[in-house]
Structure 1
Amino acid sequence: MSGIDRKQFLKNSALSAAGLMMGGTIAKASGSTSSAMSASDFDIMEEVNKYRMIDSHAHVYFRDQSPGMQIDFADRLGIEKLVISRPMSRGGDATPEDFRRCNNLVLDCVNQYPDRFIGQMTLNPKYKEESLEEIKRCTDQGMVGLKVYSHVNITDPAFYPIIEKFIDLDMIILMHHGIGRSRIEPAPSELDSVSVATDFAEISKRYPEAMFQLAHLGGGIDWEAACKAVKDCPNVYVDISGSNNDANIIDFALEYVGEDRMFFGCDNSFFQGVGHVLAAKLTERQREKIFFENYNNILKKSGNNVD
């Protein structure tokens, strides 16, 4: 992709999507009478703005555009709160210095937009003592959960002390799920230690008191296999974030996971995140749960819920 980096490409793509989304409303306001524009009186932004929203899977970056760009997209779509993290690169060493730097960025962003951002920390469980110290530092400053990539598989015994600490805190662990064209062909960027849905199922049975968030059903994973694997794991929640637009993701998850264990999230694919929920065959009550209530119920456990 010459001449433009990936983040700018995603931003431009999202802006194009915004134009498509807003087109019907703009045309009506300008008095257009074309058959294409008059075929429906449905105002999608009116529908979007009916719901309170917590984005359960958002990120900030070490870039000049962030966090302003995330707030801008949230404003366009009426997203009230964003749960932000800055995980370390999957390919890096992920030292304590690295995760402290990432967490400091999140803390700075929360301080800049305290009414909009909810902070999550990142860690590397290979560094047990440093990770436990970082949990205390971050929770003392208001962070409410953990987001990790794949430096340690979620079933690895190195993760046990971290999971046990988050049980004590009544906070959720958001874990990256491996991406790829299928369960048996992971993307080249994935580490051998990457977690997949069967790992979530295994650890959820070892720690039924813990809360785990399986990341990005719309992010390029085998979402059918993922939903089936965690069907009988009541402490595993799934977020629907990601840029992939497969038509049946939420409807399938509704059947296997249920309406109370799904979270709205975008993973910075904002229009896709909102569109997934609006396009699914859901009742108004189910949309209210997925957009806001389910995640807010998680926050209530640690006393950090949105009023």
Structure 2
Amino acid sequence: MRIWDLHCHLSGVAGLTPEERMGQLLGYADRVGIERLCVYMGLKWSQDPSPDDLVKQNDEVLRALAKYPDRTFGFVYLSAKHIQRSLEELERCVANGPMVGIKLWVAGRCDTPEIDPVIERAAELQAVIFQHTWFKTGGNYPGESTPDDIVALARRFPNVPIICGHTGGTWELGVRAIREHKNLYADLAGSDPTAGMTEMAVRELGVERVIYGSDAGGRSFASQLGKVHGAQISEADKQRIFCDNLRELMLPILKLKGIQA
């Protein structure tokens, strides 16, 4: 099967430079048959990054992409707390650079309309939009979005595809939260490889809205691949989850940039 990994980071991997860490990730990916990696955020994260820190982390990802352009896709790291700098980074890294998507993490929740100019511009560029979400039983980080927050965003942009990162972590609740919003996609990455997760997502959302990701190096490729390989679904559905759904979302911007995939 073709496998594209939606959700990878340079953190949690051995190496002193972005290039070294990307090489390590690709070495592990080769062992388990992963063809391409989507990468975002740099070597060391802050839960409340400054505008300059966003630039620094994006620069580190750009270095990794330049070293391995045929195996990697980059998403620009943005923040709902720093809209002007985020818009500038979107132009630098996507409109005028090699990146093909945007990554929103914590610090500012996505239910706030302040993020709307970023979403609007990303949609104009046909960039893939990825928003981290979590339902934490002990309480979320300050500014950390839940699937309910991404539903609020999806209502404001009903025609824009948006990926719900981690399916909210507590995936039974996350799947139910996003179910009625056809422009929301479920990212399988990051939670434990519990039996039934992929099957529930396919049953409730439809296979075309489910996307494989690992959250490497925070999680192993093998444990996250197991969620799909071990699921009681057809081989055709597994192929859609492993590659085809993500590839279809990315094709418009890949064609614009002349990237073969």
Q: Same fold (TM over 0.5)?
A: yes
Alignment match, 2:141: 191
Please tell me whether the aligned partners of residues 171 and 211 of structure 1 are also in contact (alpha carbons under 8 angstroms): no
1:136 aligns with 2:91: yes
Look up the equivalent residue of 1:193 and give its one-letter code.
Answer: G
Is it true that 1:107 corresponds to 2:62 in the alignment? yes
- 2:160 is aligned to 210
2:47 to 87, 91, 102: 91
Q: Does 1:242 align with 2:190?
A: yes
Partner of 2:71: 116
**Cα deviation digits, residues 30-58 of structure 1 (max 9, x gap):** xxxxxxxxxxxxxxxxxxxxx00110111
Please point out which of 233, 236, 239 is paired with 1:282.
233
1:251 paired residue number: 199
CA distance in 2, matches of 1:270, 1:158: 35
- Pick the aligned partner of 1:156 from 88, 97, 112: 112
Which of the pair has the greater relative contact order for Cα pairs under 8 Å at 6+ separation? 2
Q: 1:127 aligns with which of 82, 96, 111?
A: 82
- 1:216-236 C-alpha deviation (Å, 9 max, x unpaired): 24xx82111110111111111
**2:208 counterpart residue number:** 260
The SS at the match of 1:105 is helix
Q: TM-score, normalised by structure 2?
A: 0.89
| 1:102-137, Cα deviation, whole Å (9 max, x unpaired) | 001111001111111101110123222221111111
**For residue 284 of structure 1, what is the amino acid of its counterpart?**
E
**Distance apart, 1:245 and its partner CA:** 1.9
Q: Does the aligned pair in 1 maintain the 2:104–2:130 contact within 8 Å? A: yes
Q: Deviations over 1:160-189 (max 9, x none)?
A: 110111111112221111253x3xx32xxx
**Which stretch of structure 1 is more off in the superposition, 242-251 or 105-114?**
242-251
User: Structure 1 length normalisation: TM-score?
Assistant: 0.76
Given that 1:259 and 1:290 are in contact with CA atoms closer than 8 Å, whether structure 2 keeps it comes out as: yes
What CA distance in whole angstroms lies between the structure 2 residues aligned with 1:60 and 1:195?
22
Task: Give secondary structure in 1 for the equivalent of 2:59.
Answer: helix
* Aligned partner of 2:22 among 46, 51, 67: 67
Alignment length (residue pairs)? 248
C-alpha separation between the residues in 2 aligned to 1:149 and 1:274? 23
Contact 1:227-1:256 at 8 Å conserved across structures? yes
- In the alignment, structure 2 segments of 5+ residues that lack a partner are none
- State the SS of the aligned residue for 2:193: coil
Query: Is the 2:123–2:160 Cα contact (8 Å) retained in structure 1?
Result: yes
Using the TM superposition, give the Cα deviation of residue 243 of structure 1 relative to its aligned residue in structure 2, in angstroms.
4.8
Match of 1:200 in 2: 150
Structure 2 equivalent of residue 167 of structure 1: 123
What is the distance in 2 between the residues matched to 1:306 and 1:199?
34
Query: Contact 1:86/1:102 (CA < 8 Å) preserved in 2?
Result: yes
Consecutive unaligned residues of structure 1, counting only runs of 5 or more, are: 1-50
Hey, which bits of structure 1, 4+ residues long, moved more than 4 A?
A: none
String of CA shifts for 1:135-155, please: whole Å, max 9, x gaps: 111011210111121111111
Question: d(CA) in 1 for partners of 2:60 and 2:260?
Answer: 22
